[in-house]
């Protein structure tokens, strides 16, 4: 009998501030219906000047280490597309902030929003090789588009940490997996830019094409039939995208796309993304967190995942929710992470959006704005300096 490997624990963190879409709409004269209904977003997390993917990733992972210890962790995989260094893995800073043992390998993975799913699948492979080991997967991103661009309403920031090991308390990852790659320029961020470039409509089409491609491959790999799934967790750049994707999948499979069915299949997965915004690599796993935190008992039921990363790479796979998973959730902490954010007005958000760290090697102390457990204290001689509270 094959061993059961999957997500043993899941915890997330998000930014210090929150911008309501009503404030953005008031600034740019957009009908709020476009944001609330058209793209399905209510607000977006905005990181403080002293937060970045490292502080968010460490804040997400700290509760996992506090609960399980680190003695079985021999690998940390940090997935991000808002990388802070071309050479050093952001996970090495997290390793240090969390006080993990030196006998651990740490690496960073990138393929747009898909990176965390690659990390999860690689983690499953490592655990299969040595079931005594656990892998800490961290997905952490700050989504940033140009001010006054169509993408601006789809920004956000969050990190998800997942502990992967045998006999998972939350979700067992199943073997069949459908994968898809296509060379498209729908969304990209050259090394010299802070903000992503995007061809919005092309990106939506590329995502839908990837849904079809992954499903075809998943079926050919002997995957489950569509009707078996209790729920569908999609990558959610904006929550309406999950609805578009699911309708497309149902159409592709010759199923009806009535509103009730679509809402039943994925409605619960959108609760956190709707108020956090796009968190790139973390997005699909925030969808899982929202589902597990809200659904009636899903123990023993299969859940589908569709992970899409622009450029593009995508994967469709399934997980079976573990019996008794509700005893291991962090629902209270997740809700608190969302509720503790301080609202910013449009001017405050714009100032945060425009702030940059110096690139000339000079000393710079960041303002102490964040209240989380870790902060970016500044930069000196091109080196980032982190602090634990």
* Residues that bind ligand HMG in the complex, under the rule CB under 6 A: 31, 33-34, 37-39, 81, 112-113, 150-151, 153-154, 186-187, 198, 200-201, 203-204, 207, 235, 237-238, 241, 278, 280, 308-310
Least Å distance, CB 233 to ligand HMG, is 14
* CB-based contact 106:307 (threshold 8 Å): no
Structure tokens of 361? 């090697």
Q: By C-beta, is 39 or 329 nearer to ligand HMG?
A: 39
Q: By C-beta, is 38 or 373 nearer to ligand HMG?
A: 38
Least Å distance, CB 163 to ligand HMG, is 24
Which residues does residue 180 pair with via DSSP β-bridges, in sequence order?
314
Least Å distance, CB 300 to ligand HMG, is 31
The 3-class secondary structure across the chain, one letter per residue, is CCCCEEEEEEEEEECCEEEEHHHHHHHHCCCHHHHHHHHCCCEEEECCCCCCHHHHHHHHHHHHHHHHCCCCEEEEEEECCCCCCCCCCHHHHHHHHCCCCCCCEEEEECECECHHHHHHHHHHHHHHHCCCCEEEEEEEEEECCCCCCHHHHHCEEEEEEEEEEECCCCEEEEEEEEEEECCCCCEECCCCCCCCEECHHHHHHHHHHHHHHHHHHHHHCCCCCHHHCCEEEECCCCHHHHHHHHHHHHHHCCCCCCHHHHHHHHHHHHHHHHHHECCHHHHHHHHHHHHHHHCCCCCCCEEEEEEEECCCEEEEEEEEECCCHHHHCCHHHHHHHHHCCEECCHHHHHHHHHCCCCCCCCCEECCCCCCCCEEEEEEECCEEEEEEC
The separation between the first and the last C-alpha atoms of the chain, rounded to the nearest angstrom, is: 46
- Ranked by CB distance to ligand HMG, the top (closest) residue is 38
Q: By C-beta, is 62 or 184 nearer to ligand HMG?
A: 184
Report the alpha-carbon angle 238-239-245, nearest 5.
100
Q: By C-beta, is 39 or 185 nearer to ligand HMG?
A: 39
Catalytic-labelled residue, pool 51, 95, 113, 246: 113
| 81 belongs to the catalytic site | yes
Which residues does residue 380 pair with via DSSP β-bridges, in sequence order?
383
* CB-based contact 306:326 (threshold 8 Å): no
Catalytic-labelled residue, pool 16, 51, 81, 152: 81
| 113 belongs to the catalytic site | yes
Least Å distance, CB 318 to ligand HMG, is 21
Least Å distance, CB 254 to ligand HMG, is 22
* CB-based contact 32:22 (threshold 8 Å): yes
Least Å distance, CB 242 to ligand HMG, is 10
The residues annotated as belonging to the active site are 81, 113, 235
């Amino acid at each position: 009998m094959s061993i059961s490997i999957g997500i043993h624990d899941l915890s997330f963190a998000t930014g210090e501030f929150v911008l309501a879409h009503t404030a953005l709409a008031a600034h740019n004269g957009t009908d709020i219906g476009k944001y609330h209904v058209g793209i399905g977003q209510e607000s977006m997390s905005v990181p403080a000047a002293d937060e970045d993917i490292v502080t968010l990733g460490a804040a997400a992972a700290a509760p996992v280490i506090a609960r399980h210890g680190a003695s079985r962790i021999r690998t940390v995989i940090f997935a991000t597309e808002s990388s802070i260094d071309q050479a050093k893995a952001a996970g090495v800073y997290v390793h240090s902030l969390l006080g993990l043992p030196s006998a651990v390998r740490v690496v960073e993975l990138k393929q747009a929003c898909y990176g965390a799913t690659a990390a999860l699948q690689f983690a499953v492979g490592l655990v299969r090789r040595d079931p005594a080991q656990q892998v800490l997967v961290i997905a952490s991103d700050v989504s940033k588009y140009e001010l006054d661009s169509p993408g601006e309403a789809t920004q956000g920031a969050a990190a998800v940490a997942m502990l992967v090991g045998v006999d998972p308390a939350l979700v067992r990852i199943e073997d069949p997996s459908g994968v898809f790659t296509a060379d498209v320029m729908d969304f990209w961020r050259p090394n010299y830019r802070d903000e992503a470039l995007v061809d919005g409509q092309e990106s939506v089409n590329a995502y839908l094409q990837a849904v079809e491609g992954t499903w075809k491959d998943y079926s050919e790999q002997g995957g489950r039939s569509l009707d078996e799934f209790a729920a569908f967790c999609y990558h959610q750049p904006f929550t309406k995208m999950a609805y578009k994707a699911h309708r497309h999948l149902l159409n592709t499979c010759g199923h009806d796309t009535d509103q009730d069915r679509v809402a039943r299949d994925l409605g619960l997965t959108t609760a956190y993304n709707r108020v956090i915004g796009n968190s790139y690599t973390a997005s699909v796993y925030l969808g899982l967190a929202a589902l597990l935190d809200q659904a009636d008992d899903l123990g023993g039921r299969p859940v589908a995942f569709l992970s899409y990363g622009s450029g593009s790479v995508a994967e469709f796979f399934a997980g079976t929710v573990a019996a008794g998973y509700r005893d291991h959730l962090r629902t209270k902490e997740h809700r608190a992470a969302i509720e503790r954010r301080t609202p910013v007005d449009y001017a405050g958000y714009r100032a945060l959006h425009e702030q940059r760290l110096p690139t000339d090697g000079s000393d710079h102390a960041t303002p102490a704005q964040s209240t989380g457990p870790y902060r970016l204290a500044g930069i000196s001689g091109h080196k980032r300096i982190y602090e634990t509270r």
